[in-house]
Amino acid sequence: MNRQKMSDYKFLRGGGEMGELIRSIDWTATPIGAEETWPTELKIATGIMLSTPFPMYIAWGKEYIQLYNDGYRPILGSTKHPQAMGISTRETFAEIWHIIESMFDGVMEGNAVGFPNFMLPLDRNGYVEECFFDFSYSPISDEDGNIGGVLVTVIEITEKVSRLKELQHTKLDLENAKAETEGQRDQLKRFFMEAPAAICVLNNYDLVFELINPLYQQFFPERQLLGKSVLEALPEIKGSVWDILRSVYDNDTTFEGNELLIPIARYVDGPMENRYFNFIYQPRHNASGKVDGILVFAFEVTDMVNAKKELEKEKDKFKLAILAAELGTFDMDMEKGTMEWDKRCRTLFGIDHQDTVTYEKDFLEGLHPDDKERVSKVIDRVFNKSESNGFYDVEYRTVGVKDQKVRWLRAKGQAYFDEMDRPYRFIGSVLEITDKKQEELRKNDFIAMVSHELKTPLTSLNGYIQMLQIKATKNADTFATGTLNKVTQQVKKMTGMINGFLNVSQIEAGKIPLNKSEFLLNDLIKEVIAACALIAPDHVITDCPCGPLPVYADYDRIEQVMLNLINNAVKYSPNGKQIKIECQLIDEIVRVSVKDEGMGIEPAYVDKLFDRFFRVEGNHTKAIPGFGIGLYLCAEIIQLHEGKIWVESQSGVGSVFYFSIPKLGILSGSL
Ligand code: ADP
């Protein structure tokens, strides 16, 4: 029988491509044998298999020789077909044989099996892949129940399973993403709640308070905001920011408010308050980019704005006061390297240009030549914190650049220092005192003239007293002698005072002469103490046991200084009894000190003590007579000796006045 004939078997008809393949096979060469010898049940099963599009597969006989249809073909992939047709399952499915063998054997014994979603690792495309099947293995038996093979009906669901897996992954990813988004949302909410700015979120067209952080709620402590629309919760904003909010929402624009006045109540039914805010209204968008709310960031700046207003008011008052007092003001900024003078200050320096002023060109150049060096030194001292504490108070003359007018000015100010004690700012004011100065000059001239005129009758008076004293001594008239002694003291006092005034006018004229000689300073001190002891019986004046101290100086002038200092120590310590004099030779410098336990001097006055006509103003000094020229004279005399004079004092405790002069009358160092 030729092959063409064999293919004519009815049970082998049709079956598409696999039908063709089955018909082309020489079954005699297989354990199944020639088609005409196939048992009926195999023929029937093959016929059914070839006529159904449903995947079907027959494993026949002990060798499980395979026949399959077009529906089954894809399960064999690219490497198993076509050679699988007509050979043993054991060979074709070697990689899974250990799994399916027992099931096949079971079927041969009559036990049909079937599993949904069964995984088999098939090597059908050059690699092992996990393949999933819904399948059933059922026996093919003859009419007596003898089983000849296995009929496999199968649907491969690998793609469905992998899509399912993908779906599961996607679901998992989605869940993770959701959890992450929720986490981020929580974090954002926490950030909102803990932010150092007041934040709220207004939702939808009606602008309903959706989220409010504690700082925002603090603006309106007991007012219920959450869940209410802005107009419902804060109706009073209708007159202020409502239009702005509406426009931010409707026009999708951001609005930034700066120190904006919003009259609003703090509490429910509370009074309206004028409150100021810095804020940002930021439109919020939904997924499709449409505005669906507004984010509000706000800071209340009411206190700051009110403080600023107050400051402006104070500034205006200050300006008025400065104007009324005819003060000029200056402001030097060392960090920026700038100097600012107001109009009045420029006038007082006779400047008519409008350019920025400079320290060298305008200030120093504007000073009177005789005052330049002194004022420069004062300013150097002001900038030395330890020496001056930044305090500035000086009188000087200016010579107008344009009008050449000489003006007397009093400048007062303060330098400010950084943590390294470097000055960074120097501000102050200047006041014209030309009239006062001229008045002083006239006063000086008058005092000089009067003192001069008084000296002559005083000299005669002294002469007459001496004559009377001689006479009274001769007559042993003790009453007259005593009285004349007292008169002599008073005349001496008066002479001292008149001499003082004369000295002042001499100094003013630069005419105080020094008559230097060598003498023992310790002897001079002893004599002065003895003289003072007579007029201050209530005080104990003690000298220090210093050895001989020869100096080359003006005896009378140094005596005048000592007298002044001891007299002051007595005068300004009405309750203190002890006055201690000390002198010391340090290198080639002699230093003398006069210490009292009196009223002391406030630190603010210490710098001014040696100024002419300066007296500490206070109730306790009012009753003590004086003209404020004693220390001025002392300072001038010591300066003429190239020495130094200074004071250390504590208010209510006492003072120590020091002076030092070079031993040989020549400056060889300083203390
Ligand atoms: P006067 O004593 O005539 O007022 P002085 O020039 O001698 O003038 O002194 C100036 C000012 O210094 C005094 O008015 C006084 O306020 C203060 N003063 C001087 N010596 C002392 C002292 N030992 N204790 C306290 N204050 C003093």
On whether both 301 and 166 belong to a single domain, the answer is yes
State whether the beta carbon of 572 lies less than 6 angstroms from ligand 1: yes
Kindly state whether residue 105 falls inside one of the protein's structural domains. yes
Of 378, 412, 432, which residue constitutes the final position of a domain? 432
Peptide bond into 82 cis (omega under 30): yes
SS3 at position 603? helix
Kindly state whether residue 95 falls inside one of the protein's structural domains. yes
When divided into structural domains, the chain yields a total of 5
55: domain CATH number?
A: 3.30.450.20
Q: Quote the DSSP letter at residue 618.
A: S
- Confidence band for 4, pLDDT divided at 50, 70 and 90: very low
Sequence letter at residue 236: E
On whether both 169 and 145 belong to a single domain, the answer is no
Of 131, 155, 179, which residue constitutes the final position of a domain? 155
Provide the Cα torsion 355, 356, 358, 362; round to 10°.
40
Mean pLDDT across the chain, nearest whole number?
90
**24: Cβ–Cβ under 8 A, 6 or more apart, which residues?**
3, 7
Q: Which atom of ligand 1 has the smallest separation from the CA of 621?
A: 16
State whether the beta carbon of 496 lies less than 6 angstroms from ligand 1: no
**What is the C-alpha separation between 161 and 157, in angstroms, rounded?**
6
Kindly state whether residue 564 falls inside one of the protein's structural domains. yes
State whether the beta carbon of 568 lies less than 6 angstroms from ligand 1: yes
On whether both 140 and 40 belong to a single domain, the answer is yes
- Confidence band for 508, pLDDT divided at 50, 70 and 90: low
**Residue 621: its pLDDT value, please?**
67
Over residues 31-90, the pLDDT tens digits come to 999 988 999 999 999 999 999 999 999 999 999 999 999 999 999 999 999 999 999 999
**What is the C-alpha separation between 2 and 651, in angstroms, rounded?**
146
- Alpha carbon nearest to ligand 1 atom 11, residue: 615
Helix/strand/coil (H, E, C) string of 280-316? EEEEEECCCCCEEEEEEEEEECHHHHHHHHHHHHHHH
Please, what is the angle between helix 478-508 and helix 630-640, to 10°? Answer: 60
Q: Which atom of ligand 1 has the smallest separation from the CA of 633?
A: 6
State whether the beta carbon of 615 lies less than 6 angstroms from ligand 1: yes
Mean pLDDT across 554-562: 92
Question: From ligand 1's centre to the CA of 607, what distance in Å?
Answer: 12
State whether the beta carbon of 655 lies less than 6 angstroms from ligand 1: yes
On whether both 454 and 417 belong to a single domain, the answer is no
Kindly state whether residue 321 falls inside one of the protein's structural domains. no
Question: From ligand 1's centre to the CA of 394, what distance in Å?
Answer: 20
Q: Cβ atoms within 10 A of the Cβ of 480, count?
A: 15
**Domain with 338 in it:** 326-432
Spatial contact of 349 and 401, defined as CB atoms under 8 Å apart = yes
Q: Quote the DSSP letter at residue 236.
A: G
Question: From ligand 1's centre to the CA of 438, what distance in Å?
Answer: 25
Question: From ligand 1's centre to the CA of 625, what distance in Å?
Answer: 10
pLDDT at residue 195 is higher than 90: no
On whether both 550 and 646 belong to a single domain, the answer is yes
Tell me the residue ranges of DSSP E strands in 401-504: 406-417, 423-432
Q: Which atom of ligand 1 has the smallest separation from the CA of 629?
A: 6
Tokens of 74: 């894809």
On whether both 198 and 223 belong to a single domain, the answer is yes
- Confidence band for 670, pLDDT divided at 50, 70 and 90: very low
On whether both 169 and 144 belong to a single domain, the answer is no
Question: From ligand 1's centre to the CA of 467, what distance in Å?
Answer: 36
Q: Which of 65-69, 202-206, 623-627 has the lowest mean pLDDT?
A: 623-627
Kindly state whether residue 671 falls inside one of the protein's structural domains. no
Q: How many CA atoms lie within 13 A of 325 on its CB side?
A: 14
Of 508, 531, 550, which residue constitutes the final position of a domain? 508
Cα 259 to the center of its chain, rounded Å: 22
Tokens of 138: 């059922």
On whether both 76 and 200 belong to a single domain, the answer is no
On whether both 444 and 366 belong to a single domain, the answer is no
- Alpha carbon nearest to ligand 1 atom 3, residue: 626
543: domain CATH number?
A: 3.30.565.10
State whether the beta carbon of 621 lies less than 6 angstroms from ligand 1: yes
Q: Which of 561, 571, 631, 653 to mutate to test the pocket of ligand 1 (most atoms within 8 A of CB)?
A: 631
On whether both 10 and 138 belong to a single domain, the answer is yes
- Alpha carbon nearest to ligand 1 atom 27, residue: 572
Spatial contact of 563 and 659, defined as CB atoms under 8 Å apart = no
Tokens of 164: 């399912």
**What is the C-alpha separation between 209 and 233, in angstroms, rounded?**
9
**Residue 3: its pLDDT value, please?**
47
| Beta bridge mates, 392 | 413
Measure the CA angle with vertex 434, ends 433 and 437; round to 5°.
Answer: 85
Question: From ligand 1's centre to the CA of 492, what distance in Å?
Answer: 20
Kindly state whether residue 668 falls inside one of the protein's structural domains. no
**What is the C-alpha separation between 339 and 621, in angstroms, rounded?**
41
State whether the beta carbon of 626 lies less than 6 angstroms from ligand 1: yes
**Residue 509: its pLDDT value, please?**
65
SS3 at position 112? coil
- Alpha carbon nearest to ligand 1 atom 14, residue: 615
Mean pLDDT across 353-358: 88
**What is the C-alpha separation between 68 and 49, in angstroms, rounded?**
7
Q: Cα–Cα distances in Å, from 83 out to 17, 87, 148, 153, 368? A: 14, 7, 22, 20, 125
459: domain CATH number?
A: 1.10.287
List the strands of the sheet with 291-300, edge to edge.
Answer: 208-212, 198-203, 291-300, 272-285, 255-265
Q: Which of 327-331, 382-386, 504-508, 511-515 has the lowest mean pLDDT?
A: 504-508
**660: Cβ–Cβ under 8 A, 6 or more apart, which residues?**
586, 589, 590, 591, 592, 643, 644, 645, 670, 671
**What is the C-alpha separation between 386 and 388, in angstroms, rounded?**
6
Mean pLDDT across 293-308: 94
On whether both 130 and 167 belong to a single domain, the answer is no
**What is the C-alpha separation between 121 and 98, in angstroms, rounded?**
11
Question: From ligand 1's centre to the CA of 605, what distance in Å?
Answer: 10
Mean pLDDT across 299-323: 90
Question: From ligand 1's centre to the CA of 556, what distance in Å?
Answer: 21
State whether the beta carbon of 566 lies less than 6 angstroms from ligand 1: no
| H or E segment to which residue 201 belongs | strand 198-203
Exposure string for 199-229, b = 16+ CB within 10 A, e = fewer: bbbbbeeebbbebbbebbbebbeebebeeeb
Kindly state whether residue 393 falls inside one of the protein's structural domains. yes
Q: Which atom of ligand 1 has the smallest separation from the CA of 631?
A: 6
**Residue 619: its pLDDT value, please?**
67
On whether both 181 and 282 belong to a single domain, the answer is yes
**What is the C-alpha separation between 135 and 118, in angstroms, rounded?**
8
- Backbone conformation region of residue 507, classed left if phi is above 0, alpha if psi is from -120 to 50, else beta: alpha
Q: Which of 497, 560, 567, 568 to mutate to test the pocket of ligand 1 (most atoms within 8 A of CB)?
A: 568
Q: Which atom of ligand 1 has the smallest separation from the CA of 610?
A: 6
- Alpha carbon nearest to ligand 1 atom 16, residue: 616
State whether the beta carbon of 628 lies less than 6 angstroms from ligand 1: yes
- Backbone conformation region of residue 421, classed left if phi is above 0, alpha if psi is from -120 to 50, else beta: left
Over residues 406-415, the pLDDT tens digits come to 999 999 999 9
- Alpha carbon nearest to ligand 1 atom 7, residue: 630
Cα 213 to the center of its chain, rounded Å: 25
Kindly state whether residue 670 falls inside one of the protein's structural domains. no
State whether the beta carbon of 630 lies less than 6 angstroms from ligand 1: yes
State whether the beta carbon of 631 lies less than 6 angstroms from ligand 1: yes
Radius of gyration of the chain (CA): 60
Diameter of the chain measured on Cα atoms: 199
Question: From ligand 1's centre to the CA of 550, what distance in Å?
Answer: 29
